[in-house]
A and B are shown apart, each in its own frame.
Chain A
């Protein structure tokens, strides 16, 4: 039995019923949806749950339009408009944004992402573990921590004479050269691939997590809301407010949360979301580039 196919069948049926019931009063509409959902769930629980069985069940229930026509006998038609949309994945999008881009804010942003990741019910424990462990402190956390720790540093000193030859030193024409190294560094053939995986890995995992969360949200019953006639809802106001002034309260985290709200909203097109992300992302990345370049230059100047 393919549970995903059966769930999709039921979700599609409920979506059509919800659309057909838009002419009913809100309370009657919610009541009808709940009633039919419960009936389907009970029938599935008592049967084998096979796809053919569920198809028969839905056929017996009848066409959604007919169900609504029967339910609306005696109900006055109303002009109030309703909007129906897929359940929000704002929490999940915020989680992956904090786990990746949020790691710009050393440790704190990534920790916020971990908390959001584990609070979602749309991921399995294995997926949550994957999101947490790939990679601890996030891609930018790895870069920043690597820059702060400093890797391996060597100092070479040359002395003119001395009766004893220090361990590790060389003696040539009365000069002794001693190299003292501190810290730890991987050889380039290992270090570069490890660094690439540490930086790219979290973004790949983030993409996978978002795709799975969206697929699972699509199987859930739609969210029905009374239409206000304006495109500005709570999510849209939060997105613009967090981007506009969020950086004053929480640098980096505020704008990242604003982008999460924008991506979770259906009011903007994908193109508009990408443009906004590019505009805000440039401002977020520049300080990190400056920091990494500064650390690299400082280390380069201090060695030798």
Chain B
């Protein structure tokens, strides 16, 4: 288990998850605003 894997998960998995959540919330809210 190398430190490289830790860095990879910390700086790739974390941003990807956070950005994914941000995009999902933004899309849902925009869809709702448009429907209203």
Size category, A interface: 35 or more
How many residue pairs, one in A and one in B, have C-beta atoms under 8 Å apart? Answer: 99
Residues 260-304 (chain A) with a chain B CB within 8 angstroms: 262, 267-268, 272, 275-277, 279-284, 286-287, 290-291, 293-294, 297-298
A244 to B17, CA, bound (A): 9
Which residues of chain B are within 8 angstroms of A272 by Cβ–Cβ distance?
Answer: 24-25, 28
Taking a contact as CB atoms under 8 Å apart, the answer to whether A293 and B29 are in contact is no
Taking a contact as CB atoms under 8 Å apart, the answer to whether B19 and A243 are in contact is yes
Size category, B interface: 20 to 34
Which residues of chain B are within 8 angstroms of A232 by Cβ–Cβ distance?
Answer: 29, 33
Selected contact of B24 from candidates A251, A275, A281, A286, CB within 8 Å? A275
Taking a contact as CB atoms under 8 Å apart, the answer to whether A283 and B15 are in contact is yes
The residue among A275, A284, A287 with the most chain B CB atoms within 10 A of its own CB is A287
11 new A-B contacts at CB < 8 Å, known A236-B25, A286-B14: A231-B32, A232-B33, A240-B26, A243-B18, A243-B25, A244-B19, A258-B18, A279-B20, A279-B21, A284-B17, A297-B1
Q: Report 19 cross-chain contacts, Cβ distance below 8 Å, ordered by A residue.
A: A231-B32, A236-B25, A239-B25, A241-B22, A243-B19, A243-B21, A244-B23, A247-B18, A251-B14, A258-B22, A268-B25, A268-B29, A283-B14, A284-B17, A287-B6, A287-B13, A291-B6, A293-B1, A298-B1
- Please list the residues of chain A having a beta carbon within 8 angstroms of any beta carbon in chain B: 230-232, 236, 239-241, 243-244, 246-248, 251-252, 254-255, 258-259, 262, 267-268, 272, 275-277, 279-284, 286-287, 290-291, 293-294, 297-298
